[in-house]
């Protein structure tokens, strides 16, 4: 089977949507598929997240890049974000129509204008739309136009509530060979003492990730003088603001900003940490939680609906209310002062991902969906002919 993944952000960021497409592609190739990608390349500048681990050829399409714009902080800024994507999606739909004989199925990472435009323009290939978060936006009617919709975590129920559209749950996974417990040179390279308590947050700098709440909690954690570091991996429009907040709070020596961190480097960062924190207002599923669990880390998370389910009742970590910096600080302090509990939680998390969250199982499930769509399309073409 010949699969085309259409993912605009593949060369611009490494978020959950990009991780899913790249990891799923690798595992589909192992199942005998041929996989290719169509992605956006900025009109000016270089790629910020070269997908060197792509399982197949990447086709690049030049497009405006307005990802730097703080759309979630500017009134009406969402229109800029939508325009940025729409320009790519319309061109991508035309690109695929001209190459339909090269593929059997197209999978898109959201991109509602692509699905709607491609299908309404007479596109013949089955289109699978993957939705990454429960706050999806679809003024184009792409969800209805797609041949199938897939999602994971809280997003599945959100899709089903929004008009009753069928949604297939395809579990997110983690590479348990890449992300695993072990030693790391990260601390020595960054001048972090072995006795320091290292809190790790892997997240884009967007408002929903609530970095400012984490900074307040970390400041409170540090108030008793026990050595600690906060490591922030990621980039985004609010990074400069968070850096300024760290300085204003007197934490600039204790907070390590890694910026956009290559996927190949992340395992070393996880292995250097003592605890993984999630301060978000909401998460649909959270790949970073799975990566931390696979790395043998306990997780302290806000009550983001789905992430607490990943770590059990309290077996793999602690859950605190959203936007409660005091409760977050207390949870981090509890685990700081109890290394044995951290160890037990990390071991439970590792066993859990090995048992439930492998990419191979998810790829087999997705392959089954592709085959059903292909059989349906073949039957329809035969009957209509």
pTM equals 0.79
Q: Are residues 292 and 314 in the same domain?
A: yes
Number of domains within the chain: 2
Neighbours of 334 (CB within 10 A): 13
pLDDT digits (tens, 9 = 90+) for 122-158: 999 999 999 988 878 788 899 999 999 999 888 888 8
**Residue 46 structural domain:** 2-173+358-378
pLDDT grade, residue 12 (50/70/90)? confident
Q: Are residues 336 and 368 in the same domain?
A: no
Q: Is residue 201 part of a domain?
A: yes
Tell me the CATH number at 54: 3.40.50.2000
Q: Are residues 283 and 212 in the same domain?
A: yes
Q: Are residues 320 and 373 in the same domain?
A: no
Q: Are residues 157 and 203 in the same domain?
A: no
Angle at 228 between CA 227 and CA 232, to 5 degrees: 160
Q: Are residues 205 and 337 in the same domain?
A: yes
Rg (CA), the chain: 21
Query: What's the pLDDT score for residue 290?
Result: 95
pLDDT digits (tens, 9 = 90+) for 340-375: 999 999 999 999 999 999 899 899 999 999 999 988
Q: Are residues 309 and 215 in the same domain?
A: yes
Q: Are residues 366 and 279 in the same domain?
A: no
Q: Are residues 143 and 61 in the same domain?
A: yes
Q: Are residues 267 and 195 in the same domain?
A: yes
Q: Is residue 181 part of a domain?
A: no
Neighbours of 158 (CB within 10 A): 17
Q: Are residues 190 and 206 in the same domain?
A: yes
d(CA 127, CA 109) in angstroms, rounded, equals 11
Query: What's the pLDDT score for residue 385?
Result: 47
Q: Is residue 385 part of a domain?
A: no
CA-based nearest residue to 243, from 253, 323, 220: 253
Q: Are residues 144 and 217 in the same domain?
A: no
Q: Is residue 180 part of a domain?
A: no
pLDDT at 252 over 80: yes
pLDDT grade, residue 383 (50/70/90)? very low
Q: Is residue 48 part of a domain?
A: yes
Q: Is residue 328 part of a domain?
A: yes
């Amino acid at each position: 089977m010949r699969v085309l993944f259409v993912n605009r952000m593949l060369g611009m960021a490494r978020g959950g949507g990009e991780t899913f497409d790249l990891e799923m592609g690798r595992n589909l190739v192992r199942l005998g598929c041929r996989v290719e990608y169509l992605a956006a390349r900025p009109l000016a500048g270089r790629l910020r997240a070269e997908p060197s681990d792509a399982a197949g050829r990447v086709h690049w399409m030049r497009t405006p890049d307005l990802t730097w714009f703080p759309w979630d902080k500017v009134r009406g800024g969402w229109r800029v974000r939508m325009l940025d994507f729409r320009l790519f999606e319309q061109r991508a739909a035309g690109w695929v129509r001209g190459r339909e004989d090269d593929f059997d199925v197209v999978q898109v990472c959201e991109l509602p204008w692509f699905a709607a435009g491609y299908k309404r323009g007479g596109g013949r290939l089955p289109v699978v739309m993957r939705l990454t978060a429960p706050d999806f936006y679809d003024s184009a009617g792409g969800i209805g136009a797609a041949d199938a919709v897939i999602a994971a975590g809280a997003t599945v129920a959100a899709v089903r509530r929004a008009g009753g559209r069928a949604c297939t749950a395809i579990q997110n996974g983690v590479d348990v060979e890449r992300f695993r417990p072990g030693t790391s040179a990260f601390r020595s390279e960054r001048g972090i003492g072995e006795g320091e308590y290292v809190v790790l947050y892997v997240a884009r700098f967007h408002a929903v990730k609530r970095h400012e709440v984490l900074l307040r909690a970390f400041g409170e954690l540090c108030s008793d003088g026990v050595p600690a570091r906060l490591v922030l991996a990621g980039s985004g429009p609010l990074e400069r603001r968070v850096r300024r907040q760290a300085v204003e709070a007197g934490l600039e020596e204790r907070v390590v900003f890694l910026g956009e961190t290559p996927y190949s480097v992340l395992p070393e960062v996880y292995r250097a940490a003592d605890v993984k924190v999630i301060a978000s207002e909401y998460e649909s599923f959270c790949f970073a939680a799975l990566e931390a669990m696979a790395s043998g880390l306990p997780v302290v998370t806000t009550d983001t609906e789905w992430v607490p389910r990943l770590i059990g009742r309290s077996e793999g970590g602690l859950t605190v209310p959203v936007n409660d910096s005091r409760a977050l600080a207390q949870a981090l302090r509890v685990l700081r002062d109890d290394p044995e509990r951290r160890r037990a939680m990390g071991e439970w998390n590792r066993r859990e991902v090995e048992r439930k969250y492998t990419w191979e199982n998810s790829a087999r499930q997705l392959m089954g969906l592709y085959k059903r769509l292909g059989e349906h399309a073949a039957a329809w073409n035969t009957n209509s002919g």
